[in-house]
Structure 1
Amino acid sequence: MTMTLTDLAPEEKWRALQDELQERFGLNADIEDGEGKRLFGTTWGNDLCRAIRDDEKGFSSICVTAGQMFTHLLKQGEPFSEECDAGMMRVAVPIKKDGEIIGSVGGCGLMPADGEIDPFTIGMMSDVTEETVEKRSPDVRVADEDRVKEIQDYIQKRVDEIIG
């Protein structure tokens, strides 16, 4: 039988960590199982990602394809950060038990320090207007390499505390 995150710690602890990451780092935080499925939905860190995800075309062309890539990276078993086509990034740390990846903790919706949110590209890949992108972008937090490493280290520390 495959081990799950809730075999390691109660659901409440994972939910609390998800909320903590959203509040502390501005992530669209989530806890995922070993197949990349969210256990508790998403806590929104910014309005732009929510607009993209709520848009059927944006969801399928940006969020779904990014999710597939992120799941592939997760299976490599190392912490990662990777950009989606909207110009934002996901930061995640896999959770392993006895060498098996049983889930991940992290989130998306941060803009790389050397990147930019491109309203034109988002508009081409979704039905979200450039005006909406501009209006919903101000709360997207920026993260440089040091911040990404800080987030990954924090996640690992908290996961270790939760699972012992």
Structure 2
Amino acid sequence: MIKIRYDYDLSEVINIDVLQSIQDKFAEATGLAAVIVDREGIPVTNCSRFTSFCKTIRYCEKGFQKCTLSDSQGGIRAKEEGKSAPYVCESGLIDMAAPIILENRFIGTILCGQIILEEDGREKTLQRVKERTKDIDIDFETIKRKFNDIEVLPKSRIVAATEFLSITANYIAEMGLANIYQQELLEESRSRRQLEEHLRTKKLQILQSQVNPHFLFNVLNSIARLSLIEGASETEDMVYALSDLLRYSLRNVEEVVKLEEELNCVKDYITIQKKRYKDKFDFDIDIDEDLLDINIPLLTIQPLLENSIIHGFKEKSTGKVKIKAEKMDNMISISVIDDGLGMKDNYTKELLSSAGKSKDKITSHITGIGINNVHQRLKHYFGEEYGLEIKSELNKGTEVKINLPGE
């Protein structure tokens, strides 16, 4: 039986790099400043989109102490209330706090905000700021100049962002709990053989748990509300495309789907990227209709396509990605081909090797699926002779080939 410790710190139960990535994406999606702190209010991540006002306040020792205390109290208050909620920080701005709870234990807080509430107005907020920062060793004229750059938002926007924040906090807690079970299982396994047997039976469940993007699907509700409030039609279009993509991954719980369904998912993803990057990429899908009925594991092509866009073209202004398929005697191959930066031969081998699993840093932003994950699932479903092949040449491009049974 697995015994769970109750004295974990936030940094013990979840990778800080993962926390930072979640926080950065949250700040990008909402346009709000964000930071994740431990139960004492000490930051465990780097700040995202912090205002120059708050950076100035936190730069001096007294200001940082007050901010740390405010962050800690904000998290404790949200924990006691059982939900995330807006509050006035020690410097007079509006912040929000969402507690991170693990096994009914408060281990940290996601904080965001640093805005002026539209209902309060700039003048009222400035007077509050003046009163709350009078004991800080910073000239008020400097504070006032920084204050003038702060964004004013309506309460409805803050409420929507708060819901978004709560979803994010819950997701982090779930990830932390999963990490704890994994760590305790490893510690209590009495023999290597016993551990390997358990991992074999759980292997597919672990892989599939990476596939279902429940977090992003829930977050879409909040993003859609924000876009509706702001009248952002292009944002709505992107949300709908992403919503279809996520519905596909959530509804199709079978081990395999038809290639036609997988390509519909790919087309939704392409729609999103065309709106995001405008004319930067040229996409071409060349697959015979006779192959649309073949079986393929859920979310096999999209992570490879995203890898081409995010990593293959990170230093190029334009690029082309082609998806094609060919049928041979006993095998069907689907290729994702780009003319991007390419990779070294030893790196392509590492991505597909068993030893390379823990080093697979190239993962889909939509699903969190890495290249090795796709490779291992193909082998699990169809056998060791199937999976991925990678051919790449520096500065010329990459071809990732998906090998499937021909019959």
- Whether these two folds match at TM > 0.5 is yes
Counterpart contact for 1:35–1:71, Cα < 8 Å: no
Match in the other structure for 2:101: 96
Counterpart contact for 1:58–1:128, Cα < 8 Å: no
Give the drift of 1:10. Answer: 2.8
2:134 match: secondary structure: helix
Give the drift of 1:91. Answer: 0.5
1:124 match: secondary structure: coil
Q: Identity over the aligned pairs, expressed in percent? A: 21
Residue 72, structure 1, aligned to residue 76, structure 2: yes
Match in the other structure for 1:149: 159
Map 1:100-119 → 2, pairs under 5 A: 100-115=105-120, 116-118=125-127
Match in the other structure for 2:138: 128
Give the drift of 1:132. Answer: 1.2
1:48 to 53, 57, 60: 53
Give the drift of 1:31. Answer: 1.1
Distance 1:88 1:159, change over 3 A: same
Residue 139, structure 1, aligned to residue 143, structure 2: no
Q: Which amino acid aligns with 1:148?
A: I
Give the drift of 1:44. Answer: 4.3
Match in the other structure for 1:21: 26
Give the drift of 1:17. Answer: 1.8
Query: Which residues of structure 2 form unaligned runs of 5+?
Result: 176-407
Give the length in aligned residue pairs. 163
Distance 1:133 1:101, change over 3 A: same
Query: Which residues of structure 1 form unaligned runs of 5+?
Result: none
Give the drift of 1:14. Answer: 0.8
Structure ranking higher on relative contact order (CA contacts 8 Å, 6+ apart): 1
Give the drift of 1:82. Answer: 1.2
TM-score of the superposed pair, with normalisation by structure 1:
0.78
* Distance in 1 (alpha carbons) for counterparts of 2:108 and 2:77: 12
Counterpart contact for 1:26–1:46, Cα < 8 Å: no
Counterpart contact for 1:5–1:102, Cα < 8 Å: yes
Measured on the aligned residues, the alpha-carbon RMSD in Å equals 2.7
More helix by share: 2
Distance 1:25 1:11, change over 3 A: same
Counterpart contact for 2:75–2:108, Cα < 8 Å: no
TM-score of the superposed pair, with normalisation by structure 2:
0.35
Map 1:33-44 → 2, pairs under 5 A: 33-44=38-49
Give the drift of 1:72. Answer: 3.3
Distance 1:28 1:4, change over 3 A: same
Distance 1:125 1:94, change over 3 A: same
Distance 1:159 1:64, change over 3 A: closer
Structure whose alpha-carbon radius of gyration is higher: 2
